[in-house]
Amino acid sequence: MTVTRLWIALLLLAGIVVPLPALALPSFEEVKAAYTPSEAWLLARDGRQLQSLRIDLQIRRYPWTRLEEVSTALCRAVIISEDKRFYEHHGVDWKAAGNAAWNNFWNTRTRGASTLTMQLVGLLEEEGKRHGRRSLLEKISQTSAALQLEKSWTKKQILEAYLNLVNFRGEYQGIAAMSQNLFGKWPDGLNEQESALAAVQIRSPNSSLQVITKRACTLLTEMGRKSECENLSSLAYLALTGNLRHDEISPSLAPHLAHKLLTIPGQQFRSSLDGDLQSLATQSLHRHLADLTRQNVHDGAVLVLDNASGEVLAWVGSSGDLSAASEVDGVTALRQAGSTLKPFLYALAFENRSLTPASLIEDAPLTLETGNGLYHPQNYEPQYQGWVSARMALAGSLNVPAVKTLVRLGPDAFLQRLHLLGFDCLKKEGDWYGFSLALGSADVSVLILANAYRTLANGGRWSPLRVTPDKTPSPVPCTQDGCIGVFTGPDHTAFIPGAAFLVANILSDPSARAGTFGLESWLATPYWTAVKTGTSKDMRDNWCAGFSQHYTVVVWVGNAEGEPMHNVSGISGAAPIWREVMDWLHRGDPTLARPKDSSQPPDPPFGIVQKTIRFEPPKEPSRQEWFLAGTEREVVIAAGNQSLARIDYPADGSILALDPDIPPQRQRLPLHLSAPAGPGWQWHMDNKPLGRVDRKLLWLPQPGHHRLTLADGKGKEIDAVGFEVRALSGKSDKVTPADNVD
């Protein structure tokens, strides 16, 4: 027997013989208040848990567990295993200490004499945690502290604190973390077998399966439950291998926002999210995307805003298990906007009085020369509609009129206005985006787009968003990429109220969009809404964005990895989800004291007038139309039908190359018009007649610059294009004009 062991034995037998200064021990309330779980929680606006997120990766512990929430079997197993006379001693079990000293004297291994109270003191001492094994003086200090602790704490408090602070297997600290991760249940549900397996891990938390099973069986025998040893090894195997674990201790409804807001262990962040709405939006997205999996649609996002306050009411960043990249937040990811930018383009045209809702724009083939070549926009549907009003063009989402509107305004002017709307993610110059900006070629996020539509709902007034309710201080959850500028910045006017009103009125007009979407579609709500769909190039992104009197909802569906969808449009992809969320917001729920919201259209602001208009010829029926004061008119006259007939091919500014390996006669070019020719119309090439337009004509191209002219029956020029023919190599045969006709 060593001298150290002898000293320890004598000191334990005689009590504390060394005078020690009074130790400053915390109260039970102080320990409980200082306890910090490794998790943080995102709460709904009413305080319900939406999402838990582990912050401390060094240790795993859950919220403090009251003793009343621990099963009797577990309390009994821990006491029998660690401190049989817990309720009899006053901090030090002198009988156990004497037995330990005697056995140490004879160098016999035995159960230690450290009581639960003494162990709790060790758990409360940071130095004891850091250094592990204690020195003689530290052991004496711990014993003295245990005696003091018993004078100020009750037995119930000591046992409760011990169960919350003691280390179990691996990283699990406290009874709640152990119970959930080993047995998949809360501590109040642990039975005798589970309690025995848990209790024996306190002394040897990382022992093997065989050792833990053997010790648990011994403990069950001491508890008078020897029959429970049967099948104990199977239960131990399932528990220690994680087969019974529950990874989530709260609903998983808002993981993406939680990652942005939760930063401190133990944090409970009360957000502006509506728990019921968040659940509904999550389920709706998942259900509708499950129906679209055969069309290669796997991802989506939903955002709901309160128009007046800017509070985020729902933030669904992914489709969960349907997605191969569920960690990507679809709310902040940058995706091509498609036609969802068109309302802002027309609002700008209305504001600067370049257009009115009654203005006619020609929907006909268009080719524009750009720095990167020729740009040839086409409608979603292949046919063209001729002269259409701006109302019909926007509501029907026609592409060519939108591009012509951007040509009229200029990409730079449109880009500057988009920046006023919060699209700070658009960092290039206007010329870089070009005319395709009218059709949404730029990358935007659901978050930025939603606040821009909310700006229209608020009469053109932009303000930042919030993630906390009731005007409580709101942090900035993110600042980069798709979040840039959304949660910061002063309130300002992005559009005059009249322009915002005109666009909202058009987007709420079911008859105006009937030509494209029909009268009965997901967009036709029984309450007032203004809504726009969008589909990006190659069907990679699908949008539905709109607002009612009090709410803005934006839905995106597609694939996080950028793969195209198969035969999915805005009306079949995102719109059903948008409609389901909007319906939930407006139908109310008496059982939850949520009133019905009828959603009324906005009143026309100052400077808006209404007139009865008619069209000549009557391409569109007479109607009541809204105007900015000073732009109103009663009759809208369209140009003649021949204005639709333009040279469709070759395009103006194009360059054609001859292949020397193909016989010249097989390289003739067909000349095409965009619409049927009028009587007597003629083709002219380089001021020389080629023939009548109503006859099939194949022109044999010759190297050089050429000018093709379309003339009416009186020889008046209707349209003309210039183009170039290049011979790559070899000789080029000259032909006479007559040879060009076939």
Give per-residue pLDDT as tens, 359-369: 999 888 777 76
In which band, very low, low, confident or very high, does the pLDDT at 112 lie, cut at 50, 70 and 90?
A: low
Q: What is the 3-state secondary structure (H, E, C) of 285-333?
A: HHHHHHHCHHHCCCEEEEEEEECCCCEEEEEECCCHHHCCCCCCCCCCC
Distance CA 367, CA 650 (A): 10
Using the predicted structure, report yes or no on whether residue 127 has a pLDDT greater than 50. Answer: no
Give the DSSP H/E element, type plus range, for residue 550. Answer: none
Per the CATH hierarchy, to which homologous superfamily does domain 280-592 belong? DD-peptidase/beta-lactamase superfamily (3.40.710.10)
User: What 3-state class would DSSP assign to 42?
Assistant: strand
Distance CA 621, CA 351 (A): 25
Segment 330-338 mean pLDDT: 96
> Residue 340: its pLDDT value, please?
96
In which band, very low, low, confident or very high, does the pLDDT at 492 lie, cut at 50, 70 and 90?
A: very high
User: What is the topology classification, in CATH, of domain 642-740?
Assistant: Immunoglobulin-like (2.60.40)
The DSSP code sequence of 625-669 is EEEETT---SEEEPPPGGGG--EEESPTT-EEEE-TTS-GGG--E
pLDDT tens digits, 619-665: 899 999 999 999 999 999 876 545 556 787 787 777 777 777 777 77
The DSSP code sequence of 714-733 is TS-EEEEEEEEEEE-SS---
Picking from 410, 398, 337, the residue whose alpha carbon sits closest to that of residue 368 is 410
**What's phi and psi for 731, nearest 5 deg?**
-90, 160
In which band, very low, low, confident or very high, does the pLDDT at 510 lie, cut at 50, 70 and 90?
A: very high
> Residue 570: its pLDDT value, please?
65
Q: Please tell me which residue, 536 or 555, carries the higher pLDDT value.
A: 555
Flag the least confident range among 123-132, 345-354, 401-410, 681-690.
123-132
- Tell me the residue length of the chain: 742
pLDDT tens digits, 251-291: 899 999 999 999 999 999 999 999 999 999 999 999 999 99
Q: Where are the domains of the chain?
A: 3-240, 280-592, 608-640, 642-740
Top mean-pLDDT range of 5-9, 313-317, 325-329: 313-317
Segment 585-614 mean pLDDT: 92
User: What 3-state class would DSSP assign to 35?
Assistant: coil
pLDDT tens digits, 416-437: 999 999 999 999 888 888 888 9
As a whole number, the mean pLDDT across the chain is 87
Peptide bond into 701 cis (omega under 30): no
User: What 3-state class would DSSP assign to 425?
Assistant: coil
Distance CA 153, CA 148 (A): 9
> Residue 691: its pLDDT value, please?
87
> Residue 344: its pLDDT value, please?
98
User: What is the topology classification, in CATH, of domain 3-240?
Assistant: Penicillin binding protein transpeptidase fold (1.10.3810)
Q: Please tell me which residue, 480 or 247, carries the higher pLDDT value.
A: 480
Instruction: Name residues whose C-beta falls within 8 Å of residue 250's C-beta, 6 or more positions apart in sequence.
Output: 41, 49, 50, 51, 52
- Given a contact cutoff of 8 angstroms between Cβ atoms, the answer to whether 415 and 311 are in contact is no
Distance CA 448, CA 493 (A): 16
Nearest-5° Cα angle at 206, 204 to 211: 65
Distance CA 538, CA 440 (A): 13
> Residue 105: its pLDDT value, please?
43
Helix axes 446-457, 342-351, angle to 10 degrees: 40
- Given a contact cutoff of 8 angstroms between Cβ atoms, the answer to whether 163 and 70 are in contact is yes
In which band, very low, low, confident or very high, does the pLDDT at 724 lie, cut at 50, 70 and 90?
A: confident
Peptide bond into 63 cis (omega under 30): no
Distance CA 2, CA 116 (A): 27
Give the DSSP H/E element, type plus range, for residue 462. Answer: strand 461-462
Q: Which residue has the tokens 């809360």?
A: 186
Segment 384-398 mean pLDDT: 93
pLDDT tens digits, 219-256: 999 999 999 999 999 999 999 998 998 766 678 999 99
